[in-house]
Amino acid sequence: MKWLLVLLILVGGGGVAAASLAVPTNAAVVNGSTISQATLNSDISAIAGSPDYQCYLTSEDYLSSNGNEELPPITGAGQGQNVGDNPTANNAFVATYLDTEIGHELVLGLAATRNVTVTPEQLSEARASLISQIDSVMTQVSQTAQGQNRRFTCGTPGPLTGQVVLASLPESFVDAQVQFVATASALQEDLAGVGSSQGQLQSYYEQHRSQFDTVCFNAAEFSGEAAAKQAQAAIDFGSPFAQVASSATQSGTIPCTELVAVAGELGAKLSSLQGVAVGKASPPISVNGSYIVLELSKRTPTPYATAKPVVSQAVQEVGARATQAAITTAQRRASVHVDPRYGTWVPTTASVSTPFAPATSDVLNAPANEATPPVSKSPFSG
């Protein structure tokens, strides 16, 4: 459910003094629920104060867009009017973050209409999920061309961890993100037709036990599908895996984990792995242009208490499409009003469009907005 977990920031430019505004008004109103300017400013300030979190957002944006999007800087071109004021905030960053908060409000409202609530245990699980998400993103980006780029890694010797990133943020900000993750997860479980209570999740587990068996696989990667099919046939006829893997581009073992998790990680159909017997091979799995053949070396049942996090994820995956459809419908029907200083709500794209910069001819005193003030000609200067 990555699309629900992260705060994606899109490309943009310009700057407005959003973090310094003091007029008591709402940044947006969503179906009658307000997103106050104070809340928006507080969140922007929290992100501005955490370089680690900015590195995470930058990395997440890079990975989710396959390197096609770049996170704009959070700060703008100028400072506040008074000593100690926060720097101005980039209007593209502010507008898109407000767009994210509007999306969150729509999801929370949808959950409320379906009477979806969360328990303290679900909040604890959501925090662990958020930490795991950050761990995964930072590990993945460290293995890309941006692995040495400080803007993505913050210059740490190893990948930033979720624990470190969340510790760099105010507790109130983290709590709000955890609350959203927990509610969104419960909403997915509800829209899957299962529900999010312990009894409902355990019932799903009992009906799909084999999906959650703990499996151990040997894996061999081949450059072509024909070679992979030959390897599958050789293993099924009794050839030792080591012998078959000698012609692979690379081989190794996959850490033992639940079957549904292996299928999800590789993007394979669960049905293609469920029927594999110990000592036999899976059909070739296409992964990034290569073909992987798995040999099942061990399979054991997994108790519900151990499998529960994976059960929740599996149910959420079942409900993901229905949840996206419900959110899309909610966006189209939503009544959203945005303070024009932050942008304009565009119903067709369900997004906030940043304000247009005025033409130079419309600015009465353009030099006043430049970073370097004009040099005084006064005879009394110096």
Of the ranges 54-58, 63-67, 190-194, which one carries the lowest mean pLDDT score?
63-67
* pLDDT for 379: 33
Cα-only R_g, the chain: 25
Task: From residue 210, give the alpha-carbon distance in Å to each of 275, 309, 376.
Answer: 10, 16, 79
84-132 pLDDT, tens per residue? 555 677 888 888 789 889 999 999 999 999 999 999 999 999 999 999 9
Of the ranges 92-96, 125-129, 283-287, 326-330, which one carries the lowest mean pLDDT score?
92-96
Question: For residue 374, is pLDDT > 80?
Answer: no
- Do the Cβ atoms of 314 and 94 come closer than 8 Å? no
* pLDDT for 95: 84
Q: DSSP of 297-359, one letter per residue?
A: EEEE---HHHHHHHHHHHHHHHHHHHHHHHHHHHHHH--EEE-TTT-EEETTTTEEEPPPPPP
- Do the Cβ atoms of 273 and 263 come closer than 8 Å? yes
- pLDDT confidence bin for 314, thresholds 50/70/90: very high
Question: For residue 83, is pLDDT > 60?
Answer: no
* pLDDT for 364: 59
Question: For residue 231, is pLDDT > 80?
Answer: yes
Residue scoring higher pLDDT (62 or 4): 62
Question: For residue 332, is pLDDT > 90?
Answer: no
352-364 pLDDT, tens per residue? 887 766 555 655 5
How many angstroms separate the CA atoms of 76 and 48, rounded?
11
In terms of Cβ atoms closer than 10 Å to its own Cβ (0-12, 13-18, 19+), residue 54 is buried
Question: For residue 9, is pLDDT > 90?
Answer: no
- pLDDT confidence bin for 15, thresholds 50/70/90: very low
* pLDDT for 210: 94
DSSP-derived secondary structure letter, 19: G
- Do the Cβ atoms of 263 and 210 come closer than 8 Å? no
Residue scoring higher pLDDT (182 or 65): 182
137-179 pLDDT, tens per residue? 999 999 899 999 999 999 998 999 999 999 999 999 999 999 9
- pLDDT confidence bin for 326, thresholds 50/70/90: very high
Instruction: Show the beta-strand stretches assigned E in the chain.
Output: 26-30, 33-36, 214-222, 250-258, 285-287, 290-300, 336-338, 344-346, 351-353
* pLDDT for 350: 79
**Torsion sign across C-alpha atoms 316, 318, 321, 325:** negative
- pLDDT confidence bin for 288, thresholds 50/70/90: confident
Which tokens is 282 given? 């899976």
Q: What is the mean pLDDT of the chain?
A: 85
* pLDDT for 79: 56
Average pLDDT estimate for 211-224: 96
